[in-house]
Every structure is written in C-alpha cells, then in structure tokens.
Amino acid sequence: MSADSADPAPKANAKDEVVADRSPGPPENLRRRARILRVVNVPMRLLLRLPLRTPLNAKLMLLSFTGRKTGRAYLQPVSYVPDGDTLLTPAGGKWKLNLNEGEPIRVWLRGSKTWARPEFVRDPEEIDRLLRLMMTRNPRITSFVPFIDPDGHIDRGKLEKALSYGFAIIRWRLERDTPR
C-alpha cells in the first residue's frame, strides 16, 4: 500500500487551515487594490519622510508602529482629512490591527515628526457622518473607500459589510509633547 492510498486526502499546511477557519475575506477587487498599494507604498514611505511640506503630505501622513505579534517595525502611508484639532483616516487595511486605541504612535505629518493617539470609530451613523465630512474636504476619498460611489453616495449595505470585515475610521488626536 502506498502512502497516497493510506491517506487519500492531501494534507493541508497550517496556512491553509488558518484560511479555512476565517471568513471569506474582502472581494477580489479589494485584494487587488491592496496588492497595488503595497507596491506604491514603497516610494511613498521615502517621500513622506522628507523634512519639508509637499503637496503629497498635505493629504497623506506616514504612521510608524510596531507589529503586535512580530515586533516588526512598520511604516504605513495613510490619507487623512483635518477635522478641528484631530485628523480622520479611513482604515480598511490590516495595518490598523497593530494599533491600540489611545496608545500614541509616531507619525510624519506635513514634513515633521509628531505623536498621535488613535481612536477607532465603528458606529455606522458616525462613520456615515464623518465620511461625508471627509468627502467635502477631500473628494478623492471616494477612490479609497470602496463603498462610496464616484458620485459620493454611501452604499449602506456595503458599509455594513465593510464594518463586518473590520473597517473603521480612525480619529487621530495629535500630541505636542512626547507621550507619557
């Protein structure tokens, strides 16, 4: 008897087992967008660390944080919209899983380093309100948030689905001094 006939089902590796236990994940178009952003983010990290104001860093900032499981250092470019003394960022990617609410992280903002504390907004009504505010200040936000149509309509069904995948808006509270 061969080894194949003793065990007719092929053995799955650990990675396959993890995938089988998770929800199906985001649709293919969002996975494709994530792959493209991984490539684009490489030069963005360099440009956003420049110690001067540029048109690019007027709408993008660079987050510096440590992976919660690996301890690896990450630099993540994200879009932002100012809202009074806070900044708002749509957060649909996995990078946000490394953030702890209220724990300050280093950010490069408009050519300088500072600290910011994240606050996660997950309430659908508040997200709807904040997205509308964000669209008035940066209409390009519609190209980054998959449940906003190009005409600015927020699809509530898609918003609910995105929330089930972990979508949030992060409200950043800037710190002037080194955090304690």
What's the confidence (pLDDT) of residue 9? 38
Residue type, 54: T
What's the confidence (pLDDT) of residue 7? 38
Sign of the Cα pseudo-torsion (146, 171, 83, 164, in order): positive
Taking only the tens of pLDDT, the chain with its 180 residues reads 444 444 343 444 444 444 444 545 567 776 787 788 778 888 889 999 999 999 989 999 999 999 999 999 999 999 999 999 999 999 988 899 999 999 999 999 999 999 999 999 999 999 999 999 999 999 888 888 889 988 889 999 999 999 999 999 999 999 977 665
What's the confidence (pLDDT) of residue 25? 59
Helix axes 124-137, 156-164, angle to 10 degrees: 110
What's the confidence (pLDDT) of residue 93? 84
Q: Where are the beta strands (DSSP E) in 34-136?
A: 60-66, 73-79, 81-83, 86-91, 105-109, 112-121
Give the integer Cα–Cα distance in Å for 140 and 55: 14
Give the integer Cα–Cα distance in Å for 46 and 37: 15
Nearest partner of 88 among 149, 19, 171, 24, judged by Cα: 171
For 84: left if phi > 0, alpha if psi spans -120 to 50, otherwise beta; the answer is: left
What's the confidence (pLDDT) of residue 40? 81
What's the confidence (pLDDT) of residue 136? 94
Give the integer Cα–Cα distance in Å for 83 and 73: 28
Its pTM surpasses 0.85: no
Nearest partner of 88 among 50, 39, 125, 126, judged by Cα: 126
Nearest partner of 138 among 173, 89, 92, judged by Cα: 89
Q: Where are the beta strands (DSSP E) in 14-83?
A: 60-66, 73-79, 81-83
